[in-house]
Amino acid sequence: MAYVVDLRSDTVTKPTQAMKHAMVNSALGDDVYREDPTVNALESKLAALLGKQAALFVPSGTMANLIATMVHCNKRGSEAIVGNLSHIYKYEVGGAAHVAGVLLSTVANKPDGTFDLEELERRIRGDNIHEPITSMVAVENTHNVCGGKALPLKFLDDLGVVCKKYSLPLHMDGARLFNASEYLQVPARRVVRDCDSVSVCFSKGLSAPVGSALVGSCHFIEQARRVRKMLGGGMRQAGVLAGAALVALQEVVPQLALDHKRANILARTIEGMFLKSFSVDVENQHTNIVLVTISKDSSLTAEQVLQRLEQVCLAETQGDCKTTNDEGVIVKATEFDPKTIRFTLHREITDEDLWLAIMKITYVFKELHAAEK
């Protein structure tokens, strides 16, 4: 069997041994009655870590973002302003509109994940009877579609000023917040300082099997708890999941720098091939995500490249791509659009896995580039 290096996402990881131990041995209770000691410990720890008053454990990041939207935009006819490339807008199945009745209005994301604050101010609405009421602004950090970029602190500080000026709640989709904290070399609480609410994912980059959390003020979390119940997010003896999330904070967060280092090695390797068909913006590669752009002049598509990366030919098993059992290497990745491929590094990718992936990617990229020529 070929050796598989799965770089599709940092959600494909399995729980660590310490997580499995915690899941079996954590103290349990009914979380809807607020009696699960492990959930309570997780919520208290995360709130303190982010400098907020309280937290709420929920099944997923999508639910966390939806709850935040429903609490902040609690009047029918409200709108939330988000980036046009944000996860809330692109990848949450229109839940804000379908479930919450909230209009998502978009501002254009820049390549670094930020957006123009002057445009944001022009888009804020509230007094005109014909228009929806702007009730929330949301950002994503790190920004997935923009290549795992950490939002600059200066932008977040200036955005906080704008939101306070108009008394608008600021929500951060912090699915990969701790990656941003690692890149910026500041505590996570500094990154979210001006945010009224933050969602954090434990299964995206942190290796826990399930779970996210919503963090904010005590008043906000009390309202969020009610909405969670409405959405079916009350999980009863949820300590079996919260235990793994606690381990993620203790065990995996300190290791995120290794994911970033390996991602940077991969990005620099692809850049160093000097192939006109494939390019990487190494200078702006921040965290554990590597975006490879296929030249617009190339006839290749991301789908074609991904299919080839998952194939093993005889020449590979006899050359530099072979594994110790001579059966070749398969690399899995994700298509972002017809001309963009995403490789995502995570805890389960070792130095050996990275080396095998680099050999395979180098072989395939050179092969496809030569075929085009």
Predicted confidence at residue 323, as pLDDT, reads 54
Q: Please tell me whether residues 260 and 243 are part of one structural domain.
A: no
Q: Rounded to an integer, what distance in angstroms lies between the CA atom of residue 62 and that of residue 283? A: 30
Q: Rounded to an integer, what distance in angstroms lies between the CA atom of residue 203 and that of residue 233? A: 16
Q: Please tell me whether residues 159 and 31 are part of one structural domain.
A: yes
Predicted confidence at residue 49, as pLDDT, reads 98
Identify the domain boundary among 253, 284, 317.
253
CATH value at residue 186 = 3.40.640.10
Q: Are 90 and 336 in contact (CB under 8 A)?
A: no
SS3 262: helix
Nearest to 223 by CA among 76, 57, 67, 79: 67
Max intra-chain CA distance, the chain: 71
Q: Please tell me whether residues 54 and 166 are part of one structural domain.
A: yes
Stated length of the chain: 373
Tell me which residue range forms the domain holding 347. Answer: 3-10+255-372
SS3 81: strand
Q: Please tell me whether residues 247 and 264 are part of one structural domain.
A: no
Tell how strand 212-216 and strand 170-174 pair up. unpaired
The model's pTM: 0.95
Identify the domain boundary among 238, 253, 268.
253
Q: Please tell me whether residues 228 and 309 are part of one structural domain.
A: no
Q: Please tell me whether residues 208 and 315 are part of one structural domain.
A: no
Q: Rounded to an integer, what distance in angstroms lies between the CA atom of residue 115 and that of residue 110? A: 6
Which residue in this structure is represented by tokens 């399995």? Answer: 14
Strand partners, 259: none
Q: Please tell me whether residues 207 and 349 are part of one structural domain.
A: no
Q: Please tell me whether residues 207 and 306 are part of one structural domain.
A: no
Q: How many domains does the chain have?
A: 2
Both structure tokens of 56: 């709420």
The pLDDT tens digits along the chain (373 residues) read 889 999 999 999 999 999 999 999 999 999 999 999 999 999 999 999 999 999 999 999 999 999 999 999 999 899 999 999 999 999 999 999 999 999 999 999 999 999 999 999 999 998 889 999 999 999 999 999 999 999 999 999 999 999 999 999 999 999 999 999 999 999 999 999 999 999 999 999 999 999 999 999 999 999 999 999 999 999 999 999 999 999 999 999 999 999 999 999 999 999 999 999 999 999 999 999 999 999 999 999 999 999 999 999 877 776 555 655 567 899 999 999 999 999 999 999 999 999 999 999 999 999 999 988 7
SS3 321: coil
Which residue in this structure is represented by tokens 């970033």? Answer: 260
Q: Please tell me whether residues 211 and 324 are part of one structural domain.
A: no
CATH value at residue 347 = 3.90.1150.10
Predicted confidence at residue 325, as pLDDT, reads 56
Q: How many CB atoms lie within 10 A of CB 205?
A: 30
Q: Please tell me whether residues 47 and 171 are part of one structural domain.
A: yes
Q: Please tell me whether residues 80 and 167 are part of one structural domain.
A: yes
Identify the domain boundary among 194, 222, 253.
253
Please spell the DSSP secondary structure of 13-51, one letter per residue. PPPPHHHHHHHHHS----GGGT--HHHHHHHHHHHHHHT
Q: Please tell me whether residues 170 and 236 are part of one structural domain.
A: yes
93 backbone φψ class: left, alpha, beta (φ>0; ψ -120 to 50)? left
Q: Rounded to an integer, what distance in angstroms lies between the CA atom of residue 235 and that of residue 266? A: 40
Predicted confidence at residue 126, as pLDDT, reads 84
Q: Are 55 and 213 in contact (CB under 8 A)?
A: yes
Residues contacting residue 118 through CB under 8 Å, at least 6 positions apart: none
Q: Rounded to an integer, what distance in angstroms lies between the CA atom of residue 74 and that of residue 83? A: 21
